[in-house]
């Protein structure tokens, strides 16, 4: 395992311990609203501190960008850690056991290492660029579907952009009538990891942030999936609009999404 991936795994597991402890003691949970339909808890912050402290112990000069901490600029800006200490906070707050720690390392703008850790299931998804993706040490590959027939897709509702509900629901309907079923589980990082592992055949969502997708997009790509924005480009980091699937499924998903794509999402 690459030394920097090893540190990412250690950081994810340390955060996972914080999260599991917090999940088992809901009476100690402190929640506040930081935006519309957007929550943060004391466990998010404690888990983030666990990640930051672990990374800083080994790489004090690196920059860390996190959902809660913002950008902590280091003396070497070529190395950026993109972290989401608790992806799926709403699930966590509601007692739904589906959430994860997401950590990615970018070197000179290119994602090189990625970890997604589900502490409830003790599932560790990892990838190093060019070396494939793994789940608990075993190689994973995306599914082999050739079209949407009999596929299961994953998605996320645009709860922070409800003004896009009409366009999103049109995409949903267009895809739903072609596939077997659709899941909405509530953690973007795990949706991408599940595409990588072949558990779902494709995934799309709008309005995401870089820390939602940085680790999952590398893990998915290393497992054989393609990750694009809604028009098939590589602008999803900026637009927040993501589609992920194997090449054949992706092609059908993109053509369906384009039929219902308003100007405001065509980027």
> From CA 260, how far away is CA 239, in angstroms rounded?
17
Residue 67, marked binder: yes
Is the separation of the CB atoms in 254 and 228 below 8 Å?
yes
DSSP states of 21-60: HHHH-GGG--EEEEETTEEEEHHHHHHHHHHHHHHHHH-T
Residue 86, marked binder: yes
Coil, strand or helix: which one is 3? helix
> From CA 52, how far away is CA 66, in angstroms rounded?
9
Residue 46, marked binder: no
Closest among 152, 216, 154 to 184, alpha carbons compared: 154
Coil, strand or helix: which one is 224? coil
Residue 259, marked binder: no
Residue 212, marked binder: yes
Binding residues for Mg(2+): 67, 84, 86-87, 212
> Which residues are known binding-site members?
67, 84, 86-87, 212
């Amino acid at each position: 395992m690459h030394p920097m991936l090893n540190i990412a795994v250690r950081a994810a597991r340390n955060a996972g311990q914080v999260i599991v402890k917090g999940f088992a003691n809901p009476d100690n949970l402190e929640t506040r609203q930081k935006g519309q339909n957007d929550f943060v808890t004391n466990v998010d912050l404690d888990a983030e501190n666990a990640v930051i402290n672990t990374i800083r112990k080994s790489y004090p000069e690196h920059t860390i960008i996190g959902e809660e901490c913002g950008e902590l600029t280091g003396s070497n800006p070529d190395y950026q850690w993109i972290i989401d200490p608790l992806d799926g906070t709403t699930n966590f707050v509601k007692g739904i056991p589906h959430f994860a720690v997401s950590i990615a390392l970018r070197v000179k703008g290119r994602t090189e290492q990625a970890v997604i850790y589900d502490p409830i299931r003790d599932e560790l998804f990892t990838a190093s660029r060019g070396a494939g993706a793994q789940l608990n040490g075993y190689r994973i590959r995306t599914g082999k579907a050739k079209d949407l027939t009999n596929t299961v897709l994953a998605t996320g509702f645009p709860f922070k952009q409800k003004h896009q509900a009409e366009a999103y629901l049109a995409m949903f309907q267009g895809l739903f009538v072609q596939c077997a079923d659709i899941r909405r589980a509530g953690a973007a990082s795990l949706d991408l990891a599940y595409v990588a592992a072949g558990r779902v055949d494709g995934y799309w969502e709008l309005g995401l942030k870089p820390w939602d997708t940085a680790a999952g997009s590398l893990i998915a790509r290393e497992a054989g999936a393609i990750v694009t924005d809604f028009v098939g480009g590589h602008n999803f980091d900026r637009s927040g609009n993501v589609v992920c699937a194997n090449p054949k499924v992706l092609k059908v998903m993109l053509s369906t999404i384009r039929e219902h794509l308003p100007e405001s999402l065509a980027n």
